[in-house]
């Protein structure tokens, strides 16, 4: 490992795949990618089910971005299926758009009340298209504050409790729900980004293409932590017992890298119950949220997103959040999916970051490596920035070629 490779990348989600692709294609580095699962693409992995319906195994992934650089970069590896994501939530037996918008208001309130609230919203927020629910709850207009409380109770409180295992007050609720403001118009698109879509041939194909850059070796089914040992006291990372001096990009869980020596970071895991059904359509939108009913948070029907046209067959997945148990990670048990943003985790994270910073060639990256609730577009941006910095810092014999592939 030490002589055969110039860089080691742990994980093959966006963080790992982009770093591997950049280092290999721009600096001709020999890059080893270690992936614990038996496939690449991390949680973006998709594959056809037994009926040929393309399924996102780890839940719905809808790409969106406002960054020219991100869009141009990914578009080198895929064509796009344009798609605007729409989500409904079941509230008191009625399906309403989420983020909660003026249509949701009309569906849940008597006509006169809805009209009155619409007038108050127009007056209170003349120039805004969205408002965090916490701000609405605190609004000086009591009718609007009551609306905020209603939305909080019906849409956020129980969903958040189910999703995170913690009540909203124990979480960094603003950061957690920033993508889901209350919408002050009738726009029912879940995201507002200029560019939205899914890779035409699926995410797995996109990742395979990225990782096909000459110089990249991918080993799936390999637990990197059986080979890599950080030694912060010596400022080193050992690969199979020998110091490895090239860049090591680690996108696994940061606490696991250090054997959870300061204590385990809290992570939320998910269990997906996939089902193939002999019907053309199961539900009216790609995602239906169930804030207040059932043990699952949402049901996804993938064909709405992928645009596949298939008569008499569809595939859905129910999402059950659950506690992450480190002892079962990697053995078919729970996987860390979401960092739980709260005061305790912030303090613990800082200790791991300080430890990692003692090893100059170790770079933590991604949702698990940085313990950040990244969206896909955020991590692509970040991975490109980290690649720029690493490429710029390489010794001159491996300076990036001026040619951008």
Q: Whole-angstrom Cα distance, residue 54 to residue 202?
A: 8
Distance of closest approach, residue 270 Cβ to ligand UDP, in angstroms: 8
**Per rule CB under 6 A, is residue 294 in the interface with ligand UDP?**
no
* Nearest CB to ligand UDP, comparing residues 158 and 276: 158
**Alpha carbon of 262 to those of 35, 81, 189: distances in Å?**
25, 44, 42
* Nearest CB to ligand UDP, comparing residues 44 and 89: 89
Distance of closest approach, residue 321 Cβ to ligand UDP, in angstroms: 9
Distance of closest approach, residue 215 Cβ to ligand UDP, in angstroms: 33
**Per rule CB under 6 A, is residue 159 in the interface with ligand UDP?**
yes
Joined tokens for residue 395:
């010794």
Q: Whole-angstrom Cα distance, residue 180 to residue 157?
A: 13
Among 25, 26, 289, 306, binds ligand UDP (CB under 6 A): 289
Q: In what order do the strands lie in the sheet with 7-10?
A: 216-220, 31-35, 7-10, 248-250, 362-364
* Nearest CB to ligand UDP, comparing residues 182 and 257: 182
* Nearest CB to ligand UDP, comparing residues 58 and 195: 58
Q: Whole-angstrom Cα distance, residue 127 to residue 134?
A: 18
Question: Which residue in the block uniquely carries the two structure tokens 């009913």?
Answer: 293
Annotate each residue in 96-115 with x if it binds ligand UDP (CB under 6 A) or - if it does not, as one string.
--x-----------------
Q: Whole-angstrom Cα distance, residue 223 to residue 220?
A: 9
Helices assigned H by DSSP within 215-372:
254-257, 303-306, 343-357, 366-370
Question: Which residue in the block uniquely carries the two structure tokens 């982009």?
Answer: 18
Segment lying near ligand UDP (by CB under 6 A), choices 22-30, 44-52, 171-179, 237-245: 171-179
DSSP for residue 168: G
**Per rule CB under 6 A, is residue 300 in the interface with ligand UDP?**
no
Question: Which residue in the block uniquely carries the two structure tokens 């960092």?
Answer: 339
* Nearest CB to ligand UDP, comparing residues 12 and 160: 160
Distance of closest approach, residue 373 Cβ to ligand UDP, in angstroms: 7
* Nearest CB to ligand UDP, comparing residues 159 and 352: 159
**Per rule CB under 6 A, is residue 299 in the interface with ligand UDP?**
no
**Per rule CB under 6 A, is residue 180 in the interface with ligand UDP?**
yes
| Cross-strand pairs, 210 | none
Closest-CA residue to 18 (of 383, 388, 390): 383
Torsion angles phi and psi, residue 198, rounded to 5: -125, 150
Among 104, 160, 196, 377, binds ligand UDP (CB under 6 A): 160
**Per rule CB under 6 A, is residue 89 in the interface with ligand UDP?**
yes
**Per rule CB under 6 A, is residue 177 in the interface with ligand UDP?**
yes
Q: Whole-angstrom Cα distance, residue 74 to residue 79?
A: 9
Peptide bond into 89 cis (omega under 30): no
**Per rule CB under 6 A, is residue 12 in the interface with ligand UDP?**
no
Among 5, 45, 125, 156, binds ligand UDP (CB under 6 A): 156
**Per rule CB under 6 A, is residue 196 in the interface with ligand UDP?**
no
- Considering only residues 121-150, where is the footprint of ligand UDP by CB under 6 A? none
* Nearest CB to ligand UDP, comparing residues 5 and 14: 14
Segment lying near ligand UDP (by CB under 6 A), choices 3-11, 29-37, 172-180, 227-235: 172-180
List CB contacts of 317: < 8 A, sequence separation 6 or more.
Answer: 55, 56, 59, 272, 273, 274, 275, 299, 300, 302
Joined tokens for residue 204:
């797995």
Enumerate binding residues for ligand UDP (CB under 6 A).
89, 98, 155-156, 159-160, 163, 176-177, 179-180, 289, 291
């Amino acid at each position: 490992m030490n002589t055969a490779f110039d860089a080691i990348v742990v994980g093959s989600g966006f963080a790992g795949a982009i770093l591997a692709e950049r280092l290999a294609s721009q600096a001709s580095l020999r890059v080893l990618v270690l992936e614990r699962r038996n496939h690449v693409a991390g949680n973006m992995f998709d594959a056809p089910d037994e009926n040929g319906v393309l399924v996102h195994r780890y839940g719905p992934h809808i790409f969106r971005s406002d960054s020219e650089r991100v869009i141009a970069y990914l578009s080198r590896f895929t064509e796009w299926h344009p798609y605007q994501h729409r989500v409904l939530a079941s509230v008191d037996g009625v399906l309403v758009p989420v983020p909660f918008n003026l249509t949701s208001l009309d569906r849940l309130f008597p006509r006169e009340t809805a009209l009155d609230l619409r007038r108050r919203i127009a007056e209170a927020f003349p120039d805004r298209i969205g408002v965090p629910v916490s701000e609405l709850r605190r609004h000086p207009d009591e009718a609007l504050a009551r609306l905020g409380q209603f939305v909080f109770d019906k849409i956020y409180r129980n969903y958040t409790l189910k999703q995170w295992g913690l009540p909203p007050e124990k979480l960094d609720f603003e950061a957690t729900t920033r993508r889901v403001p209350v919408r002050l118009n009738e726009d029912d698109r879940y995201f507002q980004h200029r560019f939205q879509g899914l890779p035409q041939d699926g995410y797995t194909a996109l990742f395979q293409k990225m990782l096909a850059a000459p110089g990249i070796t991918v080993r799936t089914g390999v637990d990197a932590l059986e080979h890599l040992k950080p030694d912060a006291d010596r400022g080193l990372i050992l690969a199979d017992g020998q110091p490895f001096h090239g860049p090591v990009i680690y996108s696994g869980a940061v606490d696991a890298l250090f054997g959870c020596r300061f204590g385990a970071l809290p992570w939320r895991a998910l269990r997906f119950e996939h089902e193939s059904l002999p019907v053309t359509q199961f539900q009216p939108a790609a995602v239906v949220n169930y804030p207040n009913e059932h043990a699952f948070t949402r049901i996804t029907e993938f064909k709405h997103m992928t645009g596949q046209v298939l008569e008499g067959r569809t595939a859905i997945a129910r999402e059950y959040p659950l506690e992450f148990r480190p002892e079962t990670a990697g053995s078919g048990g729970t996987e860390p999916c979401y960092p739980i943003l709260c005061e305790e985790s912030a303090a613990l994270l800082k200790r791991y970051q300080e430890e990692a910073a003692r090893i100059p060639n170790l770079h933590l990256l991604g949702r698990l490596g940085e313990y950040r609730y990244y969206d896909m577009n955020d991590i692509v941006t970040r991975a490109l920035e980290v690649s720029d910095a690493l490429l710029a810092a390489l010794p001159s014999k491996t300076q990036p070629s001026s040619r951008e592939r």
